[in-house]
A and B are shown apart, each in its own frame.
Chain A
Amino acid sequence: MAMAREIGVLPRASLQRLLDALSAKGYRIVGPTVRDGAVVWETVRSVSDLPVGWRDHQEPGRYRLEQTGSHEVFGVVHGPQSLKQFVFAPREPLLQIERSKDGFSAHPTLPQPEKVAVIGARACDLAGLATQDQIFLNGAYRDPYYAARREGLFLVAVNCTRALSTCFCASMETGPRAKHGFDLVLTEVDNQLLIEAGSTAGHEILANLPFTRASKEQIAEANTRVDACAQSQVRRLDHSRLPQALYEVHEHPRWDEVASRCLACANCTMVCPTCFCHTVEETPDLSHQHTAHTRLWDSCFTQEHGYIHGKNIRPTIKDRYRMWLTHKLASWIDQFGASGCVGCGRCITWCPVGIDLTEELPALLRPSEQPSATSGQQEATGG
């Protein structure tokens, strides 16, 4: 069914009506909330649970919240969490396995269907979710656990009108405007919220709200602010020569340099909206009659990630950082047809030492001034 593209305006004071309409449809509403100096997703019931008046400031290795005293609801761009946890759970029981007369019997533990409405998803988050969908739903094997969680998700996106110093979605062409993948999208312009539906479910919610039709001027003003947000981004990532250019610099000395700073803490992979590596943990109970088979987020920065019978394919931090960046920015394109980076900048902010991939990539693609350790060796033996 073709839907008429209609943009409404909701007074900011009526935002509660949106939350009520979602509750009435049986959704548990999840939104950004302030906790421990950062914004995290939590169940919210009223607008006052949202970070009203707060703004975030992000820089390499630094995250700070500031209370401005305004009535702005969506002044915080994002916290460490993307949408990933709602579909690809950090800890997902896959099977419960019991001893039986046949040896054992395994029972899948699919998550109970739950309707969750997330309010405040950003364009970069939607792009990350689309990437996760492609991995877990559209590949050779469909992941039923992911599918069950995904099915109940209702997404209220918010167009960004303010860029962080770490944002580079404009150069990744994923934002700051949410173009698809949402049920509803809001743009906060002063005391008004422009609202638009992106799905049938979104239209049904919108129909119950006291909106008026947005004027041309209001739409133009919202567009101007979103465009200005794109223009104001100070970081960018030139991915035009990828994947090949990164494949070609496997021996670049910059890998040693960045490895000397990287702590292999795995923060970047935990906050990344697209990182999907996971491991499986087997936890038998004390009687050894019952065991749980559980999936956990994993990271290519761990010691075990590259383990293979008695040796480690990636023993050094250099190997692991190179694996991460090369996968994220290069081989991802060959695997899934698009970059694994959506430009959210979380890996820059949440890196304890502030490693910035928008700085690392150009450094790697610049012709190296010094020969790498390996090529130096070859020259020595060759001469």
Chain B
Amino acid sequence: MANPYLIHPATIVEKIREAEDINTYRLRLVDESVRRQFRFKAGQFNMVYLFGVGEVAISIVSDPDEPEFLDHTIRTVGRVTKAIADLQPGDVLGIRGPLGQGWPLEEACGRNVVIVTGGLGCAPVVGAIEYIFKRREQYGSIKILHGVKTPHDLLYRERFDAWRRHPGTEVLLTSDQPDKTWSYHIGVVTELFEEVAIDPMKSIALMCGPEIMMRLGVPILMRRGIPATAIYVSLERHMECGIGLCGHCQMGPYFLCKDGPVVRYDRVAQWLGQTGV
């Protein structure tokens, strides 16, 4: 049986600057057999490792159909991510994964998909969006509602523009602290719900971003008639092992690394927003 703690070297083949403190690292596993066997689902994550520094849980943002290259968008916030920020193409990181539960893209087949994201929270859902557009005919209408604090926080600008051009697709962007360059909506992402038509019984909602966005946004979606069982959220907690053993990522009865990070809303509704959970 495979050792779930084994870390595999992966070369940085490209480093894409997304913002001042955010970079996307395109990684390619060094070992050919490990690379060939690596398959992931959109919404899953890897433990990304830096030699001598440690591991950090980062979602895989690239297309699950192209598992040779694994994109990870990383914000420089902590001890490990600060050290990773200094790396350049050719440097080597480590990968342990894929881990966790991804987005319910098979269940979403034949339905309208409402994607609600906030800030860098859009990263874990980017792979799912690419997956859907590769199979555009299998899904109903697609609505992508994305909110950022300032225009500076808008990542993947070209991707949003490209997605907008797909048939049956709406992409709505909003900023609650806009500047003069901002040509989209002004306000928080939940206000965008008013701008779109939702056929509640035919829709499935995928949400990713700050928990406050989910806590405020889910009740609005539910008032629009989307059942709690058709709303999926990607949640974040401290993760060290990624395999449900180290105990840090608990939310109520769930180990979010293993039972999540993507969970059906009704299962976590009781816990979301409780202090200290």
Contact = CB atoms under 8 A, between A and B. Distances in A.
- The finding on whether chains A and B are genuine partners in a shared complex, rather than unrelated, reads yes
Interface of A: 94-95, 97, 99, 102-106, 108, 110, 135-136, 139-144, 243, 247, 250, 276-280, 282, 284, 288, 291, 293, 298, 300, 305-310, 313-314, 316, 318-320, 322-323, 327, 331, 334-335
Where chain B touches its partner, the secondary structure class is loop
B9 A277 contact: no
Contact of A144 (B1, B75, B238, B244): B1
Contacts of B275: 319
B51 A277 contact: no
A136 B253 CA distance: 17
A297 to B, nearest CB: 10
A103 B92 contact: yes
B248 A305 contact: yes
A247 B246 CA distance: 22
A73 to B, nearest CB: 37
B237 A335 contact: no
A331 B252 contact: yes
A298 B246 contact: yes
A306 B244 contact: no
A334 B254 CA distance: 9
The A interface, classified by DSSP as helix, strand, loop or mixed, is mixed
Given A141-B245, A305-B248, A108 B3 contact: yes
Nearest to B237: A308
Contact of A282 (B31, B54, B241, B244): B54
A278 B9 contact: no
Contacts of A306: 237-238, 248, 276
Contacts of B55: 280
Given A104-B51, A140-B243, A282-B53, A314 B4 contact: no
Contacts of A310: 77-78
Interface of B: 1, 3-9, 11, 30-31, 51-55, 75, 77-78, 91-94, 236-238, 240-241, 243-248, 250, 252-253, 255, 258, 270, 274-277
Contact of B258 (A94, A136, A140, A314): A140
Contacts of A144: 1, 3-4
Contacts of A108: 3, 5-6
A136 B247 CA distance: 12
Given A141-B243, A310-B78, A319-B276, A103 B11 contact: yes
A299 B158 CA distance: 44
Given A142-B1, A305-B238, A331-B252, A102 B7 contact: no
Nearest to A281: B54
A29 B32 CA distance: 46
Given A102-B30, A104-B51, A106-B94, A335 B255 contact: yes
B9 A135 contact: no
Contacts of A316: 276
Nearest to A334: B253
Given A298-B247, A331-B252, A334-B253, A280 B54 contact: yes
A103 B87 CA distance: 13
A269 to B, nearest CB: 10
Contacts of A140: 243-244, 258
Nearest to A284: B52
Contacts of A322: 276
Contacts of A291: 51-52
A103 B30 contact: yes
B11 A136 contact: no
Contacts of A243: 253
Given A141-B4, A306-B248, A104 B54 contact: no
A99 B55 CA distance: 16
9 contacts: A103-B9, A103-B30, A103-B51, A142-B4, A247-B252, A313-B238, A316-B276, A319-B276, A320-B276
A245 to B, nearest CB: 14
A331 B77 contact: no
Given A250-B274, A284-B52, A305-B248, 12 more contacts: A95-B7, A97-B7, A141-B258, A143-B245, A276-B245, A278-B240, A278-B247, A279-B240, A291-B52, A298-B248, A307-B238, A308-B237
Given A280-B241, A310-B78, A106 B7 contact: yes
A313 B77 CA distance: 16
B6 A277 contact: no
Given A141-B245, A247-B270, A331 B92 contact: no
A97 B51 contact: yes
A284 to B, nearest CB: 4
Contacts of B51: 97, 99, 103-104, 284, 291
A282 B276 CA distance: 28
A350 B78 CA distance: 35
B253 A335 contact: yes
Which of B53, B77, B240, B245 is packed against the most chain A CB atoms within 10 Å? B245
A277 B275 CA distance: 21
Given A105-B9, A108-B3, A309 B75 contact: yes
A327 B270 contact: no
Nearest to B93: A103
Contacts of A280: 54-55, 240-241, 246
A4 to B, nearest CB: 35
Contacts of B241: 278, 280
A335 B258 CA distance: 12
A349 B11 CA distance: 52
Pick the most buried of A106, A279, A298: most chain B CB atoms within 10 A of its CB: A106
A277 B250 CA distance: 11
